[in-house]
Chains A and B, each alone.
Chain A
Amino acid sequence: MWALLQIELFKIFRRPRTYISFAAIAAMVLIVQVALKADGVSYLEFLMGGMKDSMEIPYEVVLNGYLVCFIILNLLLIHVPLLVALVAGDSIAGEANMGTLRLLLTRPISRTKFMLTKFAACVIYTVMLLVWMALLSLVVSIALFGTNDMIITRNDVVEQLQRSDILWRYIAAFAYAAVALTTVAALAFLLSVFAENSIGPIVSTISIVIVFTILSEMQIPLYDKTVKPWLFTSHMLAWKGFFYSKSNGEGQSIAGSIENLPAVMRSLGVLLGYIVLFVGSAVLIFRKKDILS
């Protein structure tokens, strides 16, 4: 299985288009960092508009590496699923398109093993993309902007996290984001089984993610209790839950706490459930599929 995985990884990283995702992330992160370095205070004034009427805000220290990373993740974690879909959507359909699928299946390995190896390669690619993003958005932002307490603005609350209480939250958030992106990879992987051309599963995955994200963000009571809890995109945002701290009832945040850990764990469970569902379905369908290409 390891040899098979190595071959799959070689195939992924041999293709130039694989690196488009890495380049795109580098470009997007760099653009945000340069913009915030040049005029981050204006952006913060916009974000903290409601608060500046009541409080003195030391913008120059509020704009630090931890906050810049949070802003970048906020902007990019909606777009990165699209980059993940590029590889995962191509994994089976790409082979079908090139006419190598039948050839591959003539080798003495089970279809289940073949599919799981393909998916494992997609997961490794996804994690590598995320590690790349973490390096650029966290490490480079810290190098450029330094560190301090992190102040994050929510819909109706502003949170201040102590400098010493942030790094573990990022590690947890990135680990969660890996699961969230793997869900998208699993969806693209499932759709890839049905297609003979990689364009179809990639575009379908992107469309599903966009539509579900819009539904997740809409404030319509009809969807709030019925549709939204079942959309995986609603749970993909749970990485932010690691940055929401508990308060002692008088407004003081408690270091090392998470506001609603059971909810974050529930969201994690939903995503893992979707991964099992998507990958399981893909394997089952592929095992029964008549491979003609």
Chain B
Amino acid sequence: MRSFFLICGVILFLVPAAFTQDAEALLKKVRARIEQVHDYEATGVMKTNVPFLKVPVADVMVYFKSPDKLKIKNEKGISLVPKGASSMSLNSLMANNQFTAIAGKPEKLNGITVQVIKLLPMDESAEVVLSTLYIDEAREVILKARTTTRENGTYEVELQYGKFLAYALPDKAVFTFNLKEYKLPKGITFDYDDGSEKKTRSSTMDSNKGQLEITYNTYKINKGVADSVFK
């Protein structure tokens, strides 16, 4: 009887430890792939889907510099970018080693089996409270990341890979973020009331959520990006 409890105890102690070791090993591999890109300058097309915004589809330049600088610029006009969009660059989630990785259960994401890994920051006062990564083990890339912050709610980024898989850079990134309500008094805006009923957005998206979608066309990787770009 005593040996039974001993075996159970060993299993209960060792199995999670083994999972965590696997998680850390996988994370290390993913991180190594991400960290081979020190900087990039990408061109892409940006679509913004925010319930209170009507903006045109824009051709944008996306600049990144390790560890966590990201800038989205519309060269021909103005780009309204959501707060927290810098977490679209996955480097920022793993910018330092100050977190504990905990393995979750594997899940299916768009038909692909993914390993779920939660990152808990060691710094209790950090802005990020929890990051959850959904990793495609076979390709060693992150397909989805959900970040819960202290001040700005939860962000989610979904990534699709193709031409730039070798650098773990996505062809398409969809960033979902929280929104606060927008309303201005009519006495300030003096809107023209055309008498029509207000149409609701056909999208099935939650009205408190917004989405930013960037489809990347080209990347210039590790060619250097000036710091002045990020000012």
Contact = CB atoms under 8 A, between A and B. Distances in A.
Interface in A137-194: 148-149, 151, 153-163, 165
Interface residues of A, number: 54
A234 B191 CA distance: 10
Contacts of A45: none
B16 to A, nearest CB: 39
B57 A263 contact: no
A155 B192 CA distance: 10
Contacts of A151: 78, 80
A50 B182 contact: yes
Interface in B196-223: 196, 198, 201-203, 210
Contact of A149 (B77, B177, B192, B193): B77
Interface stretch (B46-54, B113-121, B130-138, B164-172): B46-54
B105 interface: no
Nearest to A152: B189
Contacts of B184: 47, 49-50, 153-156
Q: How large is the interface on B (under 10, 10 to 19, 20 to 34, 35 or more residues)?
A: 35 or more
Interface string B72-94: 00101111111101000000000
A165 B80 CA distance: 18
A56 interface: yes
B194 A251 contact: no
Interchain residue pairs A-B with the least CB separation, the first 6: A263-B194, A149-B77, A50-B182, A249-B202, A160-B55, A240-B192
A160 B80 CA distance: 9
B2 interface: no
Contacts of A249: 201-203
A251 B183 contact: no
